[in-house]
Structure 1
Amino acid sequence: MNTENFYGKEESTDRVMLLENGYFSGLVRMQMIQEARHTIDIAYFSIGKGRSSDLLMGALFEAADRGIRIRVLLDGISHGLKGKRKNVLYALAFHNNIELKYYEPFTIFKPWTWHNRLHDKIIVVDGQLGIIGGRNMGDKYLASQPDKNFVYDRDVLIYN
């Protein structure tokens, strides 16, 4: 592989910041959503239970209400919005400014859908800010007071 062609000859204006702290990473997500001007694209394996995911989902709905175009891609099985949280799915599906899609929903007669999972955790705002990393949405990843089930992970904020 020719790495010279991969890296290019010009310096990029893109910058990155490592987000080690889960709570801070959640605050950055919230600020990105609140300051969005045109679009929000998210892809998540799971949106878990807890106040942090409720706040982030509320911010998404507020953004959609103010005219921001939102596209949501969730894992077809493990997205976490089942049972009592199914109302969130309905609200996402029926909002005029939100497009909801599933990656590989489980289909009994399509065995390849049983194990193909969308394990991404990505949010991109206005094509200018993005977070990619290992954290799903939920208190298990983003709480200010981590409990015994807290997952220590990291994300990267990419901004231009």
Structure 2
Amino acid sequence: MKWILAALIVLVYCYLLVAPLLRRKAIPKELQKKKDLDGECNLRIRILKDAEESFAEYLRLIDHARTSIHIVASTFEDNNVGNVMLAALYTAATKGIHVRILLDAKHIRLSRSGKQYIQCLLSMSNVTICDYARFHIWAPWRLFDCLHMDFLVADGQIAVFEQHALLVQMDEQGNPAETGTVSHLEDCFEALMAHHKTAKHHICTLANRAKTEHAKAHLDRLYQHVGRRNVSWFATEDYAEVTEPVAAAAVLYNPALFYQVTEWMRQSEEQARIQTADIKLDLYMTNRLMQLCNYGKGAILQINAPLQGRMIEKIKRTGATIEEAPDDDYGMEKGSTFSIGNTIFGLGSMSWEKRCAYVNSEIYLIYKMSASISMPNGTSGLTDSP
């Protein structure tokens, strides 16, 4: 009898582990519609063409911040890039800037030195680091709940979104605007932090005060070294010159993200072009793609991950066309982009697979350009920076 009871407990626990992947949450009725774009978004955008440019903008925003820096990161490792980021954030914090960071606890990889660098930040009263969805054995359904978005907001006015786009909240006269799309990113950040405010980052480190001071000195030297080697990364930019105006925009996130993104495509008057890092369709997602093709103008899919034969056949049965993704396209390690004609674009963290559609915390930006632009890089709408 005891063995039967133990087996039942294990089965129930295993079900709770995988339940979020097996059962799609119902979409609230108020969200079952196409999300309208905000015509007063006060947004200018610049698409970042490669990883180096994205990293440079991260450092520029941190270096020029005056009041606050808010960061959401789906992964973090204390490699060369991660250590430079920590050095930049530590330097900003020493200037009195409020630094708040939200990390996914399940995707943090720190060595002992990395923990000491984090400890340097946490030793300052104006720095807060929180864990997202820390897994607890008594809450197994949170195992697959991942923070899958990445963005940085400086002073509530400028943001790097999903490492692909520089967003500037600016009015038509080129002055900083109080409200707009970047403010909506701030709202998203505050909502995430409020939900996880009790999960302050736990660091098991043996570093004593002397080691912490040594780590601070190393961060100072590292930041100065990077500044000397890459002066252009820290130079002041005229954002009105290097960005393009956006006519309307909207920030979307789960629980209805996949539905709303595909609804935009279904109701469009032109064919949708989609590029995604990966695709794993379940029945619901297959039906949505079929509706998009049968009742909309169709879809062209570019997929960066290798596809199995069964998935290829499933996609073709929906009526969608599969094209080979360009080899030189930047950044489709995660997330997806889409375009409708030459004016409507989407960019976000959600890949076309059910974990992203149902479980993860995902984010997406849909925007309409003020003027039609060409797309030399295919589906993504990633044009060369001005």
TM-score class, shorter-chain normalisation, is: 0.7 to 0.9
Q: 1:116 to 1:12 in 2, by over 3 A?
A: closer
- Corresponding residue for 2:88? 59
> Is residue 2:118 matched to residue 1:97?
no
Correspondences of 1:135-154 after superposition (within 5 Å): 135=163
- Corresponding residue for 1:15? 44
> Is residue 2:39 matched to residue 1:39?
no
Higher relative contact order (CA 8 A, sep 6+): 1
Q: How many Å separate the matches in 2 of 1:89 and 1:113?
A: 25
- Corresponding residue for 1:152? none
Q: How many Å separate the matches in 2 of 1:20 and 1:61?
A: 27
State the shift of 1:84 in Å.
4.2
Q: How many Å separate the matches in 1 of 2:72 and 2:111?
A: 17
- Corresponding residue for 1:151? none
Q: How many Å separate the matches in 2 of 1:124 and 1:14?
A: 14
- Corresponding residue for 1:113? 142
| Deviation larger for 95-104 or 34-43 | 95-104
- Corresponding residue for 1:26? 55
Q: 1:113 to 1:86 in 2, by over 3 A?
A: farther
Structure 1 residue runs of 5 or longer lacking an equivalent are: 136-154
1:123-144 C-alpha deviation (Å, 9 max, x unpaired): 00001111111x5xxxxxxxxx
State the shift of 1:22 in Å.
0.3
Q: How many Å separate the matches in 2 of 1:2 and 1:107?
A: 36
Which structure has the larger Rg?
Answer: 2
Q: Are the equivalent residues in 1 in contact too, given 2:86–2:118 (CA < 8 A)?
A: no
State the shift of 1:90 in Å.
2.2
Q: How many Å separate the matches in 1 of 2:145 and 2:34?
A: 32
1:94-116 C-alpha deviation (Å, 9 max, x unpaired): 22110111101121222023211
Give the AA of the match of 1:97: N
Give the AA of the match of 1:125: A
Q: Are the equivalent residues in 2 in contact too, given 1:44–1:79 (CA < 8 A)?
A: no
- Corresponding residue for 1:159? 168
1:51-105 C-alpha deviation (Å, 9 max, x unpaired): 2221121010110110100110000211223554222332233221101111011
Divergent runs of 4+, >6 A: none
Q: Are the equivalent residues in 2 in contact too, given 1:72–1:100 (CA < 8 A)?
A: yes
State the shift of 1:24 in Å.
1.0
Q: Are the equivalent residues in 1 in contact too, given 2:45–2:165 (CA < 8 A)?
A: yes
Structure 2 residue runs of 5 or longer lacking an equivalent are: 1-32, 170-386
- Corresponding residue for 1:68? 97
Q: How many Å separate the matches in 2 of 1:45 and 1:82?
A: 18
- Corresponding residue for 1:146? none
Q: How many Å separate the matches in 2 of 1:119 and 1:79?
A: 13
Give the AA of the match of 1:108: I
Q: CA RMSD in A?
A: 1.9
Give the AA of the match of 1:31: R
- Corresponding residue for 2:114? 85
Q: Are the equivalent residues in 2 in contact too, given 1:43–1:74 (CA < 8 A)?
A: yes
Number of equivalent positions: 137
State the shift of 1:35 in Å.
0.2
Q: 1:159 to 1:84 in 2, by over 3 A?
A: same
Helix, strand or coil at the partner of 2:153: strand
Helix, strand or coil at the partner of 1:7: coil
Q: Are the equivalent residues in 2 in contact too, given 1:81–1:89 (CA < 8 A)?
A: no
| Deviation larger for 35-44 or 47-56 | 47-56
Q: How many Å separate the matches in 2 of 1:95 and 1:62?
A: 11
Helix, strand or coil at the partner of 1:23: helix
Give the AA of the match of 2:136: T
Q: How many Å separate the matches in 2 of 1:27 and 1:2?
A: 35
| Deviation larger for 94-103 or 46-55 | 46-55
